[in-house]
């Protein structure tokens, strides 16, 4: 697309800064190049630019000799209409080149409700939807991201799926493709060779593979001179990743098991990264990112080191959600602020034992009391509803925790008012978790539970928000779906489904029409699964064994908890992929 053609479009769309590129810290796009990749993100610019994984892969490839990586995001509907009406194709931000003109095309797929954005972007780019329908001379189209835990619903759209740490798979797949191009090998030969790389699944071959794992995060690539976006984005700040994996073993949490083994960065490495990011980006806020940040083994030392540098630069250090058993008042005081986020997940001790959320009533009391004593006046509480064995008594426990916060504020709070936000998400049975065999509750049950809490949480200065019931069903369907759902995704898109994760765009009827067209039995995927069932995602060795997950499920039914594995290995199996550094 020419500059003149783009300029005429930008005057007609909302947030034109999404489409112009040229951000501060842009890598050199004119360097000698032997292989050019377009990294596509299946959501809008402001979502994709907030993603730390995309930042890492983009800058990693551009820092490699002979490689250039450009970006493309899902354009908003107004931009898509402009492209279609003018006969233009989806393009990269850096050089405005058509996506189909790259040597290799990569897609980052972060969650299930992004799946219809794949045919949306393919359509705009001129990419035939199914890999089998693309000719040999068409560039390979690969996908990765958290949804690669079970890639089967979207696998038919891609030539290869990258599973695990992208610093390994994305680098190796690009290097391999360059060698194949220079040797004159076909795409089929490239894909055959790709199956020899750990973490690469080729749907047309159906190979078994093992998730790729970075062994030492201190030696892994991490960019500290990153793009600064042209407009406000969802997480508009610098971010450093402390560690990968999680020791806590919450039985509903896919990320906990998918990102094992647990690997930490050293405090001095993190202080160096943070300092360089502050100097190179100009952001006034720095966030610490990990699944359970307060479990980082050198948290105080690391925070002190970063805080010293941040204070010199007038940069705010932000902590994410904390575990209720590890609220560190001193650290909170150092990172300032008047808001705190906790995730009890369940309202009663009984249900927290079922899901292995290893926090006690006393932990909750002590943490909230400590927060009040240090001037917190805004509290966010996150819970799940529809968890296995949940009853109305467990929902009442959510209400009781809210009243506990208000009572402790009256006794110990330093602020005049306390504002409480309660959010509930519907439980989604996810692959690679002890609850991958569980059923999802029905829409009727979801609405009953939401109505229960709406009524009970009519409390002054308390706000209640919840996830949509219908979208939760679709998320569960896709989470445990197989290749047969690819045509459902395609049909839902044809019906009009796109940007399903944005509530204003989600239309349940589009999905119902697609489901009915192909006579899909939704309960086959969202209902309880037999314990001896062979799942379609079993083709990938993710480290954590199925036997361990099943044993955890049985323990959940007995209300028996498993301690976190910081002090002692629980034998989940992830250590065969790499040593846990704790």
What pLDDT sits at residue 334? 53
Would you place residue 370 in the very low, low, confident or very high pLDDT band (cuts 50, 70, 90)?
A: confident
What does pLDDT average to over the chain? 94
The pLDDT > 90 percentage for the chain reads 86
Would you place residue 566 in the very low, low, confident or very high pLDDT band (cuts 50, 70, 90)?
A: confident
Given the structure tokens 């078994």, which residue do they identify? 208
Q: How far is residue 466 from each of residues 112, 353, 362, 396, 437, measured CA to CA in Å?
A: 18, 23, 27, 16, 24
Cα 348 → chain centroid: 27
319 has a pLDDT exceeding 90: no
383 φ/ψ angles, rounded to the nearest 5 degrees = -135, 165
In this structure, the dihedral spanned by the alpha carbons of residues 203, 205, 207 and 209, taken in order and rounded to 10 degrees, is: -50
DSSP for 385-440 reads ES-TT--HHHHHHHHHHHHHHHHHHHHH-SSS--EEEEEEEE----TTSTTTTPPP
336 has a pLDDT exceeding 50: no
Would you place residue 327 in the very low, low, confident or very high pLDDT band (cuts 50, 70, 90)?
A: low
pLDDT tens-digit readout, 126-171:
999 999 999 999 999 999 999 999 999 999 999 999 999 999 999 9
371 has a pLDDT exceeding 90: no
Given the structure tokens 């006794």, which residue do they identify? 411
What pLDDT sits at residue 103? 98
The pLDDT > 70 percentage for the chain reads 96
pLDDT tens-digit readout, 110-127:
999 999 999 999 999 999
* Mean pLDDT, residues 246-251 taken together: 94
335 has a pLDDT exceeding 80: no
What pLDDT sits at residue 249? 94
* Mean pLDDT, residues 403-416 taken together: 92
CA atoms of 570 and 556, how far apart (whole Å): 16
* Mean pLDDT, residues 498-516 taken together: 96
Cβ-based neighbours of 275, under 8 Å, separated by 6 or more: 306, 309
What pLDDT sits at residue 3? 84
What pLDDT sits at residue 332? 57
What pLDDT sits at residue 337? 57
Listed in sequence order, the DSSP H helices in 282-313 are 299-312
**Which run of H or of E encompasses 70?**
strand 66-73
What pLDDT sits at residue 247? 92
Q: Read off the pTM.
A: 0.94
Structure-token pair, residue 96: 């405005």
pLDDT tens-digit readout, 444-476:
999 999 999 999 999 999 999 999 999 999 999
338 has a pLDDT exceeding 80: no
CA atoms of 397 and 390, how far apart (whole Å): 11
Given the structure tokens 């002090």, which residue do they identify? 567
- Please tell me the least confidently modeled range out of 319-323, 369-373, 383-387, 497-501: 319-323
What pLDDT sits at residue 342? 87
383: left (phi over 0), alpha (psi -120 to 50) or beta: beta
Neighbouring C-beta atoms of residue 191, cutoff 10 Å = 23
What pLDDT sits at residue 324? 55
DSSP for 312-373 reads HTT-EEE---B-TT---HHHHHHH--SEEEEEEESSSHHHHHHTT----HHHHHHHHHHHHH
Asked if 515 and 186 count as a contact pair (C-beta separation under 8 A), the reply is no
101 has a pLDDT exceeding 80: yes
56 has a pLDDT exceeding 50: yes
323 has a pLDDT exceeding 80: no
Cβ-based neighbours of 282, under 8 Å, separated by 6 or more: 24, 228
* Nearest CA among 158, 240, 233, 162 for reference residue 201: 162
What pLDDT sits at residue 387? 98
417: left (phi over 0), alpha (psi -120 to 50) or beta: beta
């Amino acid at each position: 697309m020419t500059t003149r053609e783009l300029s005429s479009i930008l005057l007609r769309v909302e947030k034109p800064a999404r489409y112009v590129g040229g951000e501060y810290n842009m890598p050199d796009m004119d360097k000698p190049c032997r292989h050019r990749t377009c990294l596509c993100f299946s959501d809008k610019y402001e979502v994709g630019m907030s993603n730390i994984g995309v930042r890492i892969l983009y800058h990693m490839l551009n820092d490699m000799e002979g490689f250039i990586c450009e970006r493309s995001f899902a354009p908003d509907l107004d931009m898509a209409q402009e492209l279609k009406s003018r006969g233009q194709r989806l393009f990269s931000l850096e050089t405005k080149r058509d996506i189909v003109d790259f040597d290799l095309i990569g897609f980052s797929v972060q969650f299930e409700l992004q799946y219809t954005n794949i045919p949306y972007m393919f359509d705009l780019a001129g990419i035939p939807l199914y890999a089998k329908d693309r000719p040999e001379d068409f560039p390979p189209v690969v996908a990765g991201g958290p949804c690669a835990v079970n890639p089967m619903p979207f696998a038919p759209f891609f030539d290869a799926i990258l599973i695990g740490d992208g610093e390994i798979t994305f680098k190796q797949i690009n290097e391999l493709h360059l060698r194949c191009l220079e040797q004159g090998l076909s795409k089929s030969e490239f894909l055959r060779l790709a199956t020899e790389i750990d973490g690469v699944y080729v749907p047309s071959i159906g190979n078994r593979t093992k998730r790729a794992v970075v062994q030492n995060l201190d030696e892994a690539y991490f960019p500290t001179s990153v793009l600064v976006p042209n407009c406000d984005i969802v997480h508009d700040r610098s971010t450093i990743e402390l560690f990968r994996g999680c020791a806590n073993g919450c039985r509903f949490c896919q990320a906990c098991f998918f990102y094992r083994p647990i690997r930490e960065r050293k405090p001095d490495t993190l202080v160096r990264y943070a300092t360089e990011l502050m100097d190179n980006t100009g952001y006034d806020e720095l966030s610490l990112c990990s699944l359970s940040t307060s479990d980082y083994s050198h948290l105080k030392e690391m925070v002190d080191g970063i805080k010293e540098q941040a204070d010199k630069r007038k940069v705010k250090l932000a902590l994410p959600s904390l575990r209720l058993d590890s609220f560190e008042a001193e650290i909170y005081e150092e990172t300032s602020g008047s808001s705190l986020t906790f995730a009890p997940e369940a309202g009663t001790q009984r249900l927290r034992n079922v899901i292995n959320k290893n926090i006690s009533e006393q932990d909750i009391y002590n943490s909230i009391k400590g927060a009040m004593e240090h001037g917190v006046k805004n509290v966010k509480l996150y819970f799940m509803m529809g968890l296995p064995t949940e009853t109305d008594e467990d929902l009442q426990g959510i209400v009781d925790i809210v009243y506990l916060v208000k009572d402790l504020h009256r006794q110990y709070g330093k602020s005049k008012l306390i504002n409480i936000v309660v959010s509930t998400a519907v439980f989604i049975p996810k692959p690679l978790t002890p609850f991958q065999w569980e059923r999802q509750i029905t829409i009727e049950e979801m609405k009953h539970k939401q109505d229960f809490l709406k009524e009970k949480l009519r409390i002054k200065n308390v706000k209640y928000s919840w996830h949509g019931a219908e979208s939760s069903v679709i998320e569960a369907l896709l989470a445990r779906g197989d290749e047969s759902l690819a045509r459902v995704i395609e049909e839902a898109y044809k019906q009009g489904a796109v940007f399903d994760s944005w509530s204003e765009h989600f239309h349940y009827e589009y999905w119902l029409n697609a489901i009915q067209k192909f006579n899909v039995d939704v309960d086959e995927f969202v209902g309880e699964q037999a314990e001896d069932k062979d799942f379609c995602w079993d083709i990938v060795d993710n480290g954590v064994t199925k036997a361990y997950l099943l044993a955890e499920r049985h323990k959940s039914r007995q209300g028996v908890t498993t301690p976190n594995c910081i002090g002692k290995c629980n034998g989940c199996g992830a250590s065969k992929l790499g040593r846990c550094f704790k």
